[in-house]
Every structure is written in C-alpha cells, then in structure tokens.
Amino acid sequence: MKYKINNLEQYEEQYQEALSKPKEFWNKIAQEFSWSKKWTEVCEFDMINAEFSWFKNAKTNITENCIDRHLKDKGSQTALIFEPNAPKDKAEHISYNELHKRVCKMANALLALDVKKGDRVAIYLPMIPELSIVVLACARIGAIHSVIFAGFSSSALAARINDASCKIVVTADGGFRGNKTIDLKSIVDEALKDCPCVQHVIVAERTKTEVKMHPSRDNYLNDLLQNASEVHEAEPMDAEDPLFILYTSGSTGKPKGMVHTVGGYMVYTAYTFKNVFAYEQGDVYWCTADIGWITGHSYILYGPLLNGATSILFEGVPTFPNPGRFWDVVDKFGVNQFYTAPTAIRALAKESLEYVERYKLSSLKVIGSVGEPINEEAWQWYHKNIGKGNCPIVDTWWQTETGGILISPIPHVSPQIPTYATTPLPGIQPILMDNSGAEIKESEGEGRLCIKYPWPSIARTIWGDHKRYKETYFSAYPGYYFTGDGARRNKDEMYRITGRVDDVIIVSGHNLGTAPIEDAINEHDEIAESAIVGFPHDIKGNALYGFVTTKSDIKDEEQLKKDINALISAKIGPIAKLDKIQFTSGLPKTRSGKIMRRILRKIAEGNLSDFGDISTLLNPEVVKQIKDGRDA
C-alpha cells in the first residue's frame, strides 16, 4: 500500500493533507482497493444529525480485497496461523488459497440455509479458524455478522440475538480456554428459548462433547460443508451497506449494537494497520484479542488480511499452561508485531520474570497496547522485558464506535512517551472540551475528548436506534463526536487518555481522575492492580475509596496503607489521598478485562445488593469477597 508513513516529515505531510483536503486524501487512499464501481462522492456528512456516508454509490466486497486480490501473488502465503489452546496440539497454517476455498464453501453453506444479503447472523464461537471463516463468509454474501464473545451468558446472548433479529446462530459444541471447557451449545440452547427470530443453528465441532441437536433447527457445520461448492462469486456490496454489528459492553443500560459499513471500514482499517504496526511483507503479526471484540475484527482479521499479512489466531489464554505462553508463541512463530491489553501485561508482570527470560523474543519489532490506559509501571515493564528496550510501543487509542485506531504513535516516527497515545493519525482531528463545553484552544490542557471531523470507519448508527446514537455521541457537544473519554494534551500536542469521564471524581471541588491515582499506587512494588472510586462524603462532597490487590501476602496492612497514601501525596498531592483502602484478592472485571467500577462504586457507597446488570461480570466470587471485607 502506498501512503505508508516512514518518517516524521511524511506524517506531517499526510496529516496536513488530510486536514486541509480530507476528501482528496481519502480519495487517493481508497484507489488502492478493488471496487467494481467507483464512488460518486468521497464523503457526505451531517455531524448534527449523525449521518455519514463514505465512498457513496461505490460497489465492492471486502472479502475480495481481503482474499481474492492476493491470490495471484501470494496464494500460497499463510494468511492465518491457528495456535490451539493446548501447546501440544499442532498449529494450523491457512494459506490465502485455502482461506479462499474455505470462505467460498462456507458462503455456499450459508446460502443453502437461505441466508440472504442483509440478514443478520449471530456468531458465538471460540477462537477457532471457523470463526474467521464464518465472519468472512457472511461478508462475502452480504449477510451482516454479529459476533458475540463466547464468554457471554445465555441471557446476554439472547438479548443480542433478539436486538438484531438474527436468523442464524453459528456456534460450536464447546470451546477450550486454558484448563476449562465451555459448553457453548447448551448456552445457545438456553438462549434460544427466548429467540423466536432464529431459524437455524450451525454447530462446529471443537471439543467433541455430546450435544443435543434439535432436528428441524440444528445442523452440524461439517454436514453443511460436505456438499458445498468451493466456488463463490462475492456479492457486490454498496460501500454503505452494513458489514457488521458489534455490541459494546455499555456501562449502563441495554448494549449498543454499533453498525459498521463496508467501504469506509475497509479503507480505514487497512490504512491504520499498515501504519500503526509498520507491517512489512513477510512479517508475522499477532494480536491476542478475541474476535468477539472490535480489536479482533479490525486487527486480527480485516486490517491484516486487507494488507495480505500473516495473522495469528490464538485460542488460549496468557497463563495456560503457564504465564510464559505468550512469549512461547512469539518465539515459536517469530512474531514481529505483538498487540495486547494492559490488563494482560499487568497480570504477566506480576509473575516471575523467569517466564519471560526463557524466551528470546528477538523477532519482535513493534509491541502494542489497547483497551485502557496503560499505567507507567506496566509500560516500563513491557518496554524493558518484552521489547528489550528497542521496540516502539504503540499505545493505540480507539473504540468499538471508531472502527479503527484514531490516536497512536507510529513506530520509529513518533516520539515515545510512556502512557501517552501521542498523536492523532492523519484524518483525525481531536479536540478537548472544558467543563463549560468550550474548546480548549491552548496546546496544553485537559478535558473531554471529542473529534471534529468524521473519518471513514466511524460507526454509522446503533442498530435499530439512531436516536440513541445521536444522543450518546453527538448531543453533548453539538457538531462533534464525543468519545466519552477524558484526555490530557501536552505542550507538544501529544494526547494521553485519562480514562472514561465518568471515572472522574470531584473531591473538595478538585477534579481527580482515577487513572493517575491508580498509576501512582501501582508504582508501589507490592501492588498488582488498583481501582479508585468515589463515595459520598459530608465535607468534601466525594471521598476516595481504593480497592487494591497485592502481588503477594501483606506483612503489615496498616503500614502498606500509609505507604500508598504517601505515594499518592508525592505523585499527585494530598488532595488525592484515599480515605478508605481495602485489600482484595482481585477486582471485578468484565469479560473483556475492564474493571467494573459500577460495582465497586456501589460497594464503596455501602449499597451491597443492587448491582444492576452483571451479565458481563467475569468473577462474581471476587464481588462477594469484596462485599464481605468492605472498609466500613
């Protein structure tokens, strides 16, 4: 792909071009793809009514660009490497030729079940090759895929299936995760008691556990594939046809089904993958996310495949069979780009360094972070022990709603500042808003992060609820996309994401972000992880409550509490000191690894029963422990 950014000058050039002539800029980038019909207009938008169209009236199919386009030159190159959960099981290398055949076959299998363009297909699969293949097959026939992370409960699954009126559910008999086996089919059976829209269930075989098949509804995937042809002409799609729906965790209320469309999503994920990971032909790229999240959609599948890359699909977890697993896989395949989440980095940093030292990790060129602010200690650990001090860290900031990375360093181009996502990519115009709703014009400042101009992969709507889309993202600051995040900008115009703005706590009239306080605490040698929430206080308005997990048994609790507050005082100021500290064995997390602060807030407030929707909670046992040990 042209438009690769190789140095700071080129970055500046592209940034300025995208700023002053955005349509010309994206017009040039979009030329690199294969379209059966070109656009009549690069982009039309209305930021007040939240309406966007990119590459208007153009026709293409994203799978032609992900697969068919590469067959001539790199048909025999590996597209996907499947690394199974158990290290003793053999990895599977799927070439572009084979991927093409398997996606076409799957497309024909879906067509045989009468899946039509525009129909919604729910995909509830573990991280096995079939997951990628079904996703791509949907895209090939124009069905809208809705991948639901295979860790969601039956009620969460049912809610998502019904919201999008899915006609088909694709699942597996079960899935392996570490030393656990999850009976996915029985979860689907339970969910479907409440889903009248579903006509067929397709069952892939992974664990070979016995499952109950409903004769008129359920089909084994292998049976469907047996008679399916390997030939399939990709359906020409309008650039603005929906490609997929993906539900965001949504801290409150009903999950939001974010809708992404074909053309803009394709152009933007390809462009950002190429630049953020500095991918070069022949590299092996690994993103450890699950395809059930946006990171997996954009940067395991679409972005890498659009660039003809080799991308690893990992079924397992970072700590199985031991905490060296990630590093084992890196050495095994000679991974060049490695992309993971701060929560995984922190968990692994807690373990003995021996698990890292066993491996060379010499193939790594770029290492990445995504999903939450990376604290300084984790950043330094990652940089020193995994990047060996010479791999740029790309701290990529983006959201399910943005489709692709918006703010990130570019390796060997942008300066590295720990905990900073640094600079916006070309085409992205971030601004900060102050408390009164006015734009902060000075370089240096802190406020609410908004985006001024649309980019090709901005979500188009919330499925079935455009009003909610407009209200959630475009009404707080009319004319701007509101991210829901706070950010700090330094004098060099580098951005540091400080966290969700709903995590800001006002103590004695001072705005305190929880993320910097947590960063300060986490620097303590004994501390593994922490979460700060506010609770009502008679004099200060709010006071701070810290939930803190330690790396090992605590020798002197009172002393450690004093140390924590001394550290906060030193790093931020006495105003940020914690009124209450509770040591816990873990923190309540969503299945995607985010701390469920809502629950902690309730506990801190003394409200020990009404936790609202906890369908995404991974570890309910921790909540019970925290309740029992509350610092009253």
Instruction: Kindly determine how many residues on this chain lie close enough to bind ligand PRX according to the rule CB under 6 A.
Output: 20
Each residue of 394-418: b (16+ CB within 10 Å) or e?
bbbbbbbbbbbbbbbbbbebbeebb
- Residue 293 or 333: the one with the smaller Cβ distance to ligand PRX is 293
C-alpha distances (whole Å) from 524 to each of 497, 517, 560, 561, 573 are 22, 12, 9, 11, 16
Cβ–Cβ under 8 Å, residues 565 and 218: no
Supply 146's token pair.
């809705």
- Residue 17 or 465: the one with the smaller Cβ distance to ligand PRX is 465
- Residue 385 or 399: the one with the smaller Cβ distance to ligand PRX is 399
The set of residues, in sequence order, having a beta carbon less than 8 Å from that of 559 and lying 6+ positions away, is none
Residue 126: CB atoms within 10 A of its CB come to: 26
Q: Which segment (162-170, 370-378, 430-438, 555-563) binds ligand PRX by CB under 6 A?
A: 370-378
CB of 263 to ligand PRX, least distance (A): 21
Contact with ligand PRX (CB under 6 A): which of 74, 120, 365, 500?
500
CB of 288 to ligand PRX, least distance (A): 12
CB of 395 to ligand PRX, least distance (A): 5
> Is 503 a residue that touches ligand PRX (CB under 6 A)?
no
Q: Which segment (145-153, 316-324, 483-491, 542-550) binds ligand PRX by CB under 6 A?
A: 483-491
- Collapsing DSSP to helix, strand or coil, 283 comes out as coil
Label the pairing between strands 337-340 and 366-370: parallel
x-or-dash pattern for ligand PRX, window 526-565, by CB under 6 A? ----------------------------------------
| Unique residue bearing structure tokens 């799957």 | 106
CA distance 404 to 367: 17
Supply 172's token pair.
């597996």
CB of 482 to ligand PRX, least distance (A): 11
Cα pseudo-dihedral 399, 402, 405, 406, rounded to 10:
-110
Contact with ligand PRX (CB under 6 A): which of 396, 522, 584, 616?
396
- Residue 263 or 499: the one with the smaller Cβ distance to ligand PRX is 499
List binders of ligand PRX among 279-308 (CB under 6 A). Answer: 294-295
> Is 514 a residue that touches ligand PRX (CB under 6 A)?
no
Going by C-alpha positions, the residue among 163, 158, 156, 154 that lies closest to residue 185 is: 154
List binders of ligand PRX among 219-258 (CB under 6 A). Answer: 248
Q: Which segment (70-78, 369-377, 568-576, 614-622) binds ligand PRX by CB under 6 A?
A: 369-377
Q: Longest Cα pair distance anywhere in the chain, in angstroms?
A: 73
Cα pseudo-dihedral 385, 387, 393, 396, rounded to 10:
-80
CA distance 112 to 130: 17
Cβ–Cβ under 8 Å, residues 177 and 317: yes
CB of 102 to ligand PRX, least distance (A): 28
- Residue 78 or 295: the one with the smaller Cβ distance to ligand PRX is 295
> Is 333 a residue that touches ligand PRX (CB under 6 A)?
no
CA distance 470 to 462: 9
> Is 397 a residue that touches ligand PRX (CB under 6 A)?
yes
CA distance 130 to 110: 13
> Is 398 a residue that touches ligand PRX (CB under 6 A)?
yes
Q: Which segment (129-137, 229-237, 398-406, 432-440) binds ligand PRX by CB under 6 A?
A: 398-406
Cα 557 from chain centre: 36
- Residue 361 or 421: the one with the smaller Cβ distance to ligand PRX is 421
x-or-dash pattern for ligand PRX, window 411-440, by CB under 6 A? ----------x-------------------
Residues in the site for ligand PRX, rule: CB under 6 A? 248, 294-295, 369-373, 395-400, 421, 483-485, 497, 500
